[in-house]
């Protein structure tokens, strides 16, 4: 196994590490889950984003969908999370892992009603948007999704889904 070509060409290293304490508040918090931004595309130069998703107990999570420009990997820390692998929903428990390349149909949700946690690693995340801007945009989109879902406005839900650069599985899995 060999390393990729160097991207750092300094002689002595730099003091550039970042730390996020476990006590930090989640960037996204709603009735079903909280998401903590451990590393964002902005903080990793667009190389990846790493997020902790803590399901609080009420059922929730996205249905089958795909992304055109990012891949995602899921690692279950605690509890049971339902993971859609493009074919079916599967129970995933502590230590279970799934990787989804760009275009791969997937979903995740908490069907048990019990707390659960997982890490979500996304590659190809945008480097330009600062975490605070991304969090604010996601909060606004989440509010719009809730409103459209409560009113049954499926056209608005589809438009919001496209705006978020995430597309629903056309086969409805």
More confident residue, 105 or 144: 105
Domain containing 41 — which CATH number? 2.60.120.10
pLDDT above 50 for 42? yes
Give 6: exposed, middle or buried? Use CB within 10 Å, 0-12, 13-18, 19+: exposed
Question: Among the ranges 24-38, 57-71, 130-144, 147-161, which has the highest mean pLDDT value?
Answer: 24-38
Q: Is residue 139 part of a domain?
A: no
Q: Check pLDDT > 80 for residue 83.
A: yes
Query: For residue 95, is it within any domain?
Result: yes
pLDDT of residue 114: 93
In a domain, 3, yes or no: no
In a domain, 19, yes or no: no
Q: What distance in Å separates the CA atoms of residue 164 and residue 19, rounded to the nearest whole number? A: 28
With H, G, I as helix, E, B as strand and everything else as coil, classify residue 37. strand
More confident residue, 135 or 45: 45
DSSP string for residues in 95-128 = T-EEEE-TT--BEEEB-SSS-EEEEEEEES--SS
Q: Is residue 43 part of a domain?
A: yes
What is the tens place of the pLDDT at every residue in 154-170? Answer: 555 455 554 444 444 44
* Res 135 pLDDT > 70: no
Torsion angles phi and psi, residue 55, rounded to 5: -75, 130
Q: What are phi and psi of 149, to 5 degrees?
A: -65, -40
The answer to whether residues 140 and 38 touch, using CB atoms and an 8 Å cutoff, is no
* Band (3; pLDDT cuts 50, 70, 90): confident
* % residues pLDDT > 90 (the chain): 49
Check pLDDT > 70 for residue 11.
yes
Please check whether residue 13 lies inside any domain of the structure: no
| 50 domain residue, yes or no | yes
pLDDT at position 92 over 90: yes
Question: pLDDT tens digits, residue range 146-155?
Answer: 565 556 555 5
Domain hosting 32: range is: 28-127
Q: Supply the mean pLDDT for the chain.
A: 81
Number of domains present in the structure of the chain: 1
More confident: 171 or 125 = 125
Instruction: Tell me whether residue 70 is in a domain.
Output: yes
């Amino acid at each position: 196994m060999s390393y990729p070509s160097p991207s750092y060409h300094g002689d002595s290293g730099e003091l550039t590490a970042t730390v996020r304490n476990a006590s930090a508040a989640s960037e996204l918090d709603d009735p079903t889950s909280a998401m903590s931004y451990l590393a964002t595309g902005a903080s990793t130069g667009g190389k990846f984003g790493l997020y902790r998703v803590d399901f609080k107990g009420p059922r929730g999570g996205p249905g089958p969908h795909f992304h055109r420009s990012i891949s995602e990997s899921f690692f279950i820390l605690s509890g049971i999370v339902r993971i859609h692998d493009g074919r079916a929903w599967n129970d995933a428990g502590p230590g279970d892992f799934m990787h989804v390349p760009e275009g791969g149909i997937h979903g995740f949700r908490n069907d048990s009603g019990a707390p659960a946690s997982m890490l979500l690693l996304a590659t190809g995340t945008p480097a330009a948007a600062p975490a605070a801007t991304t969090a604010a945009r996601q909060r606004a989109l989440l509010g719009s999704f809730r409103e459209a879902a409560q009113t049954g406005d499926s056209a608005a839900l589809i438009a919001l889904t496209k705006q978020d650069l995430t597309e629903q599985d056309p086969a409805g899995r």
